[in-house]
Amino acid sequence: MRAIDRTRRSWAEPYKIKVVEPIKMTTRPYREERIREAGYNTFLLKSEDVYIDLLTDSGTGAMSDNQWAGMMLGDEAYAGSKNFDHLAEAVQTYYGYRYIVPTHQGRAAEHILSKVMIKQGDTIPGNMYFTTTRLHQELAGGRFVDVIMDEAHDPQSEHPFKGDIDLNKLQSWIAKVGPERIPYVSFAGTVNMAGGQPVSMRNFREVHALCRKHGIKIMLDATRMAENCYFIKMREPGYADKTIAEIMREACCYSDGATMSAKKDNLANIGGWLAVNDEETYQKCCNLLVVYEGLQTYGGMAGRDMEAVARGIEECVQDDHIRARVGQVEYLGNLLLQEGIPVVKPIGGHAVFLDAKRFLRHIPQDDYPAQALAAELYVESGVRAMERGIISAGRDPETGENYHPKLELVRLTIPRRVYTQAHMDVTAESVVALWDRRDRIRGLEFEYEPKMLRFFQARFRKKE
Within residues 214-243, the interface with ligand P71 by CB under 6 A covers 221, 223
| Least distance from ligand P71 to the Cβ atom of residue 38, Å | 16
| Catalytic annotation present for 455 | yes
Residues 6+ apart with CB under 8 A from 17: none
Kindly tell me which residue out of 58, 67, 137, 430 binds ligand P71, with binding defined by CB under 6 A. 58
Part in contact with ligand P71 (CB under 6 A); list of ranges 82-90, 105-113, 156-164, 172-180: 105-113
Residue 221 annotated as catalytic? yes
Specify the length of the chain in residues: 464
Is 130 noted as a catalytic residue in this protein?
A: yes
Q: Distance (Å, rounded) from C-alpha 95 to C-alpha 73?
A: 24
Please choose, out of 24-32, 127-135, 201-209, 332-340, the segment that lies near ligand P71 by the rule CB under 6 A: 127-135
Residue closer to ligand P71 (CB basis): 130 or 368: 130
**Stretch of 102-110, 249-257, 374-382, 429-437 contacting ligand P71, by CB under 6 A:** 102-110
- Coil vs helix vs strand at 314: helix
What is d(CA 384, CA 382) in angstroms, rounded to the nearest whole number? 6
- Nearest approach in angstroms of CB 361 to ligand P71 is 26
The yes or no reply on residue 348 touching ligand P71 (CB under 6 A) is no
Per-residue interface string for the shown chain with ligand P71, residues 243-282, x marking contact by CB under 6 A = ------------------x-x--------x----------
| List of E strands, 319-358 | 351-355
Known active-site residue 97? no
Q: How far is the CB of 131 from ligand P71 (least distance, A)?
A: 5
Tell me if residue 78 is catalytic.
yes
Minimal distance in Å, beta carbon 221 to ligand P71?
5
Q: Going by C-beta distance under 8 Å and a sequence separation of 6 or more, which residues neighbour residue 341?
A: 354, 359, 431, 432, 435
How many residues line the site for ligand P71 (CB under 6 A)?
A: 16
Q: Which stretch binds ligand P71 (CB under 6 A): 24-32, 34-42, 103-111, 142-150?
A: 103-111
Instruction: Work out the number of other CB atoms within 10 angstroms of the CB of residue 426.
Output: 16
Catalytic member of 221, 256, 265, 305: 221
Burial of 230 (0-12, 13-18, 19+ CB in 10 A): buried
Cβ proximity to ligand P71: between 174 and 232 the closer is: 232
Q: How far are the Cα atoms of 357, 359, 378, 398, 457 from residue 366, in angstroms, in the given order?
A: 11, 15, 21, 20, 18
Q: Which is nearer to ligand P71, 272 or 346 (CB)?
A: 272
Please report whether residue 103 would count as binding ligand P71 according to CB under 6 A: no
Nearest residue to ligand P71, using CB?
106
Task: Assess contact for 301 and 84: CB atoms under 8 A.
Answer: no
> Does 197 contact ligand P71 by CB under 6 A?
no
Q: To 10 degrees, what angle do helices 167-177 and 201-214 make? A: 20
* 415 binds ligand P71 per the rule CB under 6 A: no
Q: To the nearest whole angstrom, how small is the minimum distance from the Cβ of residue 272 to ligand P71?
A: 5
- Site track for ligand P71 across 128-157, x = CB under 6 A: --xxxx------------------------
Q: Of the residues 264, 311, 357, 416, which is catalytic?
A: 264
Position 107 contacts ligand P71 (CB under 6 A): yes
- Catalytic: which of 42, 56, 131, 281? 131
Distance in Å, CB of 316 to ligand P71, minimum: 15
Give the Å distances, CA to CA, from 353 to 193, 235, 336, 414: 10, 21, 10, 11
Give the orientation angle of helix 225-235 with respect to helix 319-338, to 10 degrees: 80
Q: Is 192 in the site for ligand P71 (CB under 6 A)?
A: yes
Annotation marks residue 43 as catalytic: no
Q: What is the largest CA-CA distance in the chain?
A: 61
Tell me, yes or no, if 131 is annotated catalytic: yes
Identify whether the C-beta of residue 98 lies closer than 8 Å to the C-beta of residue 92: yes
Q: Where are the alpha helices (DSSP H) in 13-56?
A: 28-37
Q: Any idea what DSSP says for residue 139?
A: H
**Rounded to the nearest whole angstrom, what is the least distance from the CB of residue 313 to ligand P71 in the complex?**
15
- Confirm or reject binding of residue 56 to ligand P71 (CB under 6 A): yes
For ligand P71, the closer of residues 75 and 137 by Cβ is: 137
As measured in angstroms, the least distance from the Cβ of 49 to ligand P71 is 19
Nearest CA among 111, 125, 222, 234 for reference residue 171: 125
CA torsion angle 419 421 424 425 (round to 10): -140
Helix (H), strand (E) at residue 434: helix 421-436
Q: Is 430 helix (H, G, I), strand (E, B) or coil?
A: helix
Cβ closer to ligand P71: 106 or 312?
106
- The residue from 95, 130, 298, 419 that is catalytic is 130
Cα–Cα distance for residue pair 41/256, rounded to 1 Å: 38
What DSSP string runs through 254-304?
A: TSSEEEEETTSTT--SS-EEEEES-HHHHHHHHHHHHHHT--TTTTT--HH
- Write out the residues near ligand P71 by the rule CB under 6 A: 56, 58, 105-107, 130-133, 188, 192, 221, 223, 261, 263, 272
Q: Looking at the annotation, which residues are catalytic?
A: 78, 130-131, 221, 264, 388, 455
